[in-house]
Amino acid sequence: MKILFYDTKQYDSVSFNEALSHYNGIEIKYLEADLNPATAPLAAGYDGVCAFVNSDVGKETVEKLGEVGVKLILLRCAGFNNVDLEAAAEHKIRVLRVPGYSPEAVAEHAMALALGVNRRLHKAYVKVRENDFSLSGLMGFNFHQKTAGIVGTGKIGAAMARICHGFGMKVIAYDVYENPDLKDLVTYVSLDQLLAESDLISLHCPLIDSTYHMINKEAIAKMKDGVILVNTSRGALVKTEDLIEGIRARKFFGVGLDVYEEEATNVFENRSNEILEHSVTARLLSFPNVMITSHQGFFTAEALAAIARTTLDNAILFEKGERSPNEVKR
Ligand code: NAI
C-alpha cells in the first residue's frame, strides 16, 4: 500500500524508515508540505495519507482527499480535533490514530514546565550566561507537601499524577470518569474544588466542546493566588485573553505552556526571521513567569518509535479490513 506522508521533519523519516524495515508492502513518500485543501490533491494514487497534529484535515481537505480516492487518514498523534470526522464518514475514509504512545513523555514534560517556571530556569539560564550570578527574581516554592490538581486522568494525566505523588505532593483530580488505577494516590474532587485547592494545576483532557475554554475568567477567579498552571494538552482549553488578564492581575506564580491558541502556524517551524502575525505569543512571552515550549511534549525517542510502529500497525489493519480501537469515528 502507498502512503503519502505530510509535514515530514527529518526525525519523522528517521523513525518511520527504521520501523518500516519490520513491515512488508508499505511504501511511504515523504512530503515537506503539510496537509491542507491545496495539498490534498497530491494524494492522487495513494491509498492513504499520514497527517499530524496541526494538519488541516477539515471538511474541504477531506472532500479533496475523497475526490482523489484516498481511503485512509493515518494520524501520527493522539488528538483528532483537527479532523472533520463527519466528512470522513461521508467519503468512506477511515481515520486511525495513535491513542497512546508514551504518556510519560508528555507527563514528564508537564513536570519539566512546572519545575522550570517555578524555579525560573528560563531566567536563570540566561542570567548565568550573562555572568549575572545573583538570585534576584529566581525564588520558587517547594512542590513537596503542596497540592497538585490534575484535570483529566487518562493515560497522560495518570502518569502526571504518579510523578506529582513521587514529589510528595497531595494529588487531587477532576475527570468525568474516575481512573480506578489511581485510587491509592488520587482523590477525585469537583473541578471547582480542584481550582480552589491546587498549588499546581495541570491540564490533561482532550479538546472537545465541553472542555473548550474551560480555563477562562471564571475558572481563573476560583484558583488560589500564586498557583502554577501547566497546559500540555491543547491550546484552546485555555482562553488566552483571560489568561493574560489573570497573569496581569498577579494571579499566577507561573504558567507553563506546551500548547496555546494560535500555535498552528508556529508549531515545528523556524520563524526566527519573520514578523509574526499574532501578538498572543509575544504578549505571553513578555511575562517573566511564563515559559512556553512549542508542542514538544511528545518528543522523545521512545515516543517517536512507538508512534511509527502504531501508525504502521494501523495501516496493516486497514489493509486487512479489520476493525481497530485506534479508529476515530464521529
Ligand atoms: P486520554 O483519552 O487517555 O485521557 C483523557 C482524559 O480526559 C480521560 O480520562 C477523559 O475522561 C478526560 N476528560 C474528558 N472530558 C473531560 C472533561 N470535560 N473534564 C475533565 N476530564 C475530561 O488522553 P491522553 O492520552 O491522556 O491525552 C490527553 C491529551 O493530551 C490529548 O487529548 C491531547 O490533547 C494531549 N496531548 C498532547 C501532546 C503534546 O505533545 N503536548 C501529545 C499527546 C497528547
Q: What pLDDT digit, counting tens, does each position of 140-157 carry? A: 999 999 999 999 999 999
Residue in this structure with the C-alpha cell 493515518, named with its chain if needed = 74
Pick the catalytic residue from 204, 234, 261, 309: 234
Residue 59 has pLDDT above 80, yes or no: yes
Read off the pLDDT of residues 205-239 as tens digits, 9 standing for 90 and up. Answer: 999 999 999 999 999 999 999 999 999 999 999 99
Ligand 1 pocket, CB under 6 A: 78-79, 100, 103, 106, 151-157, 174-177, 204-207, 210-211, 232-234, 258-259, 295, 297-298
Distance 152 CA to ligand 1 centre (A): 6
Average pLDDT of the residues in 121-142: 97
Read off the pLDDT of residues 266-322 as tens digits, 9 standing for 90 and up. Answer: 888 888 899 887 778 889 999 999 999 999 999 999 999 999 999 999 999 999 999
Rounded Cα distance between 323 and 315, Å, is 11
pLDDT of residue 284: 93
Q: Which of 133, 156, 131, 101 is nearest to 313 (CA)?
A: 101
Reply yes or no on whether 76 is catalytic: no
Distance 91 CA to ligand 1 centre (A): 28
Pick the catalytic residue from 76, 122, 263, 309: 263
Residue 14 has pLDDT above 90, yes or no: yes
Reply yes or no on whether 122 is catalytic: no
Taking the CA of residue 208 as reference, the ligand 1 atom at the shortest distance is: 15
State the average pLDDT for the chain: 96
Pick the catalytic residue from 295, 319, 322, 330: 295
Q: What is the DSSP string of 147-165?
A: EEEEE--SHHHHHHHHHHH
**Torsion angle in degrees (nearest 10) through CA of 74, 260, 230, 258:** 60
pLDDT of residue 78: 87
